[in-house]
Amino acid sequence: MDAFIVITLIKLAVIAFVLLTAVAYLQWVERKVIAHIQVRPGPYRVGPHGLLQPLADVIKLITKEDMMPPYVNKPLYLFAPFLAVAMALLSIAVIPFGPQIEVAGYHTLMQLTDLNIGVLFILAASSMGVYGVALAGWSSNNKYALLGGLRSSAQMISYELPMALAIASPLLLSNTLSLRELVVGQAGSILHWNILRMPFPQIFSFIIFVIAAFAETNRIPFDLPEAENELVAGFHTEYSSMKFASFFMAEYLNMVTVSCMATLLFLGGWEAPWPAAYGSSLVPSLIFLIAGLTALYHSANPPRRKDRYTFGGFAVIFLVIAAVFVAPMVQSWLLPLFWFLAKVGFILFAFMWIRGTLPRFRYDQLMGFTWKFLFPIAMLNLLVTSLMVAWLG
Amino acid sequence: MTAVPISWYLTLSAILFVLGVAGFLFRHNIITVFMSIELMLNAVNLSFVTFSYQYKQVNGHLFTFFVMVVAAAEAAVGLAIILTVFKNRSTLNIDEVDSMKN
Amino acid sequence: MDVILFLIFAIIAVVAAINVVVQTHPISSAVSLIGVMGSLAILYLLLGAEFIAAAQVIVYAGAVMVLFIFVIMLLNAGAESKRGRSYMVQVLGVPLLIALLGLLAFFVERLFPRTVSVHFGGFQGGTARAIGQALFTTYLLPFEVTSLLILIAILGAIVLARKEMD
């Protein structure tokens, strides 16, 4: 009993630390990706290639003046960002990052807790996250914030419907609500992942889920309620400094959660695309080797004078990581973790890629899209999936 | 005592139900009256789930499921009616909606 | 451990329920009602009803209460004005209510045997699989009827709440 509590606390500390750092650096990645889409360098000056930019942002946000306008409804004003972040963090508690590992003689899962209603738990946490937005809009006592909050919460609950139907379809194939069992059922090769799995490949569910996920997390092209040039920044108009940072942290955490859900439900979690017998264990080392050699090449002919040393440093780091992946001692937990993070990272990159590419929907187009197109398509997909499962077993 | 006697759950359900009835009878705002009805329905749900535990059957959970579905449908229609009443009488006070004459 | 968890969440539920009834502004009542539903969801988990707990949070606290909060925000419902209540009601109201609740609790305790006690993990039949099997075999007719009921409710709400096209 004691070992269980201590191990859980250690896992909690590790996951919390890694997650919060990852959310801060996710913002750096987003700024770099959008900058390169727009053919400009992005954050570059603060630290090598702008890597200390998130630290500078955190210091700025903490030391900013924390205004509490006198006309707001104080209990709800203070409660709303707390609720948004709490519900976003709660979803991460059930996400499995890898198989069972053994640390110093103790067997433990790479997950905080394995609920047998894991999928419903994440749906419940995201349903409660709507209140963070709605109460923030109401308590700010500002008509722009109220309209932004109402629009944003109406959008979130409208898109929860096709998202839930798109989640129900691969559950028909996998027959379980536990997130760990979902991944274990997709073991094998890429043909066993839910997205390509007979009797009915879940490609449409994946697309519907990703579109609904964009709307749930208020990302472009669905970010009308919180865009800066619409409705004066929407529901977080009256928030400053750490409370504003909480809303943005909640948004990035929600992005991470839906990417993890898409990976677990459709892309096979931590399973490799082809079995390890055919050499998929060498793929991470190969990728980092190529990255290191590219960095070495750019360090040899640097575009800017300082880059000779920064790219050189990155090259050394990548080559060391490539070497670490070859060591058989760490392969049992590092390889599944790599595949999981690679898939989640790919979906997060798709989030940022679409942000840099598409314009945003108008609000009536957005609501018409879900109720008149996405929801019937999701229901049709669920119907066809259930027919194929019943017919082909 | 490491387990909770089942009568405690039923007592809690009774207390919540009585509070719901009190809110239904004594409040003037129609939305608060509606929320007291939801409180009563929740108390009954707790009762169903408790008896389902006592008899070790899943039927109580099914009834709770149906109560939730019916409560959701009732909330939708009831709130639409409240919106219509507000549009016609411009008040949310049930004491002022007391004549058929507009 | 079970007793501590039950007491904490039962007290939160009762305090939030009192808050629902006592608060003047409907938004505070709505947020307190969300608190009641959340603590009831945890009590359902203690009773082994895991699917019902998740359904309570997703459907009740996450959708029905959002609907309530939307309507309160759209109608801009203000705080209820305190009408003149008679002196007798103000003095005797709360003590009488507490006495009534105490009597009720006493009779409920007397009526139900203390032999059955709830401990976490005592009932394993509340899984989604069990509910699904019961829902689609024994309770198929009520299931279909409630789906029709939801359809009627959707139609009714849309017809009642739309603007009249003149």
In a domain, C121, yes or no: no
Which residues 30-89 on chain B approach chain C with CB closer than 8 angstroms? 31-32, 34-36, 38-39, 42, 45-46, 49-50, 52-54, 56-59, 61-62, 64-66, 68-77, 79-84, 86
- The answer to whether residues A311 and A338 touch, using CB atoms and an 8 Å cutoff, is no
Instruction: Report the pLDDT value the prediction gives residue A105, as an integer from 0 to 100.
Output: 77
- Interchain proximity B3–C117, CB inside 8 Å: yes
Q: At what angle do helices A331-357 and A241-266 cross, to 10 degrees?
A: 110
**Does the CB of C10 have a partner CB in chain A at under 8 Å?**
no
Kindly determine whether residue B9 and residue C118, on different chains, have CB atoms separated by under 8 Å. Answer: yes
> Could you list the residue range(s) of the whole structural domain that residue B55 is in?
28-96
Can you give the residue ranges of every domain in chain A? 1-57, 64-271+360-393
Query: Is B19 contained in some domain?
Result: no
**Band of the pLDDT at A47, cuts 50, 70, 90?**
confident
Residues 63 through 82 of chain C touching chain B, CB cutoff 8 Å: 63-64, 67-68, 71-72, 74-75, 77, 80
Query: What gap in Å lies between CA C14 and CA C20, rounded to an integer?
Result: 10
Best probe of the C interface among A77, A120, A151, A172, by most C CBs < 10 A, is A120
| Helical ranges in A224-361 per DSSP H | 241-266, 283-300, 307-326, 331-357
Provide, as residue numbers in chain A, all residues whose Cβ is less than 8 Å from the Cβ of C50.
115-117
Last residue of a domain, one of C23, C57, C79: C79
- Residue B79 belongs to a domain: yes
Mean residue pLDDT of chain C comes to 87
C-alpha distances (whole Å) from A239 to each of A77, A246, A251, C36 are: 9, 10, 15, 28
**pLDDT (mean) for C86-105:** 79
Contact list in A for residue C70 (CB cut-off 8 A) is 134, 150, 153-154
Cα distances (Å, whole numbers) of residue C112 to B42, B46, C74, C132: 21, 16, 45, 30
User: In this predicted structure, what is the pLDDT of residue A229?
Assistant: 59
Chain C residue numbers with beta carbons less than 8 Å from the beta carbon of A120 are: 51, 54-55, 58, 128
C72 and C10: one domain?
A: yes
Q: In a mutagenesis test of the C interface, which of B10, B15, B91 is the best target, namely the one with the most C β-carbons within 10 Å?
A: B15
Domain for residue C153, yes or no? yes
Are A33 and A356 in contact by the 8 Å Cβ rule? The answer is yes
| Reported pTM | 0.92
- Alpha-carbon gap, residue B79 to B23, rounded angstroms: 18
Residue B65 lies in a domain: yes
Contact between chains at A76 and C27 (C-beta distance less than 8 A): yes
SS3 A247: helix
pLDDT of residue A36: 92
| Contact pairs from chain A to chain C, CB under 8 Å | 59
- Sign of the Cα torsion A192, A198, A203, A205 reads negative
Within 8 A of C114 by CB-CB distance, chain B residues are: 5-7
* pLDDT for position A42: 85
Please give the tally of structural domains in chain C: 2
Does B33 map to a domain?
yes
Chains that touch C (3 or more CB pairs under 8 A): A, B
Q: What is the pLDDT of residues C99-128, one digit of tens each?
A: 888 888 888 878 876 677 888 888 888 889
Are A289 and A319 within 8 A, CB to CB?
A: yes
A355-375: per-residue pLDDT in tens? 989 988 888 899 999 999 999
Q: Is residue C101 part of a domain?
A: no
pLDDT of B35 > 90? The answer is yes
Q: What tens digit of pLDDT does each residue of A283-338 get?
A: 888 899 999 998 888 888 877 777 788 888 888 999 998 888 888 877 788 888 99
Check residue C8 and give its pLDDT: 95
Quick check: is B12 in a domain? Answer: no
Please check the confidence at residue C21 and state whether its pLDDT lies above 70.
yes
The answer to whether position C89 is within a domain reads no
Residue B34 lies in a domain: yes
How many domains, chain B?
Answer: 1
Taking the C-alpha atoms of residue B78 and residue B74, their distance in angstroms, rounded to an integer, is: 6
Pairing between β-strand B4-5 and β-strand A98-103 as defined by DSSP bridges: unpaired
Residue C70 touches partner A, C-beta closer than 8 Å: yes
ipTM: 0.92
- Final residue of a structural domain among C50, C79, C108: C79
Which stretches within B56-97 are classed as H helix? 59-89
B29, B36, B37: best to mutate for the C interface, most C CBs within 10 A = B29
Q: What is the CATH number of the domain that holds C28?
A: 1.20.120.1200
Substitution target from C9, C47, C50, C136 for chain B, most B beta carbons within 10 A: C47
Query: What percent of chain A lies above the pLDDT cut of 90?
Result: 40
Question: Among B14, A115, B59, B5, which residue's Cα sits nearest to residue C119?
Answer: B5
Picking from C79, C114, C146, the residue at the C-terminal end of a domain is C79
Judged by CB atoms closer than 8 Å, whether chains meet at B72 and C63 is answered as yes
Range of the domain at C4: 1-79
Residue A13 is which amino acid? A
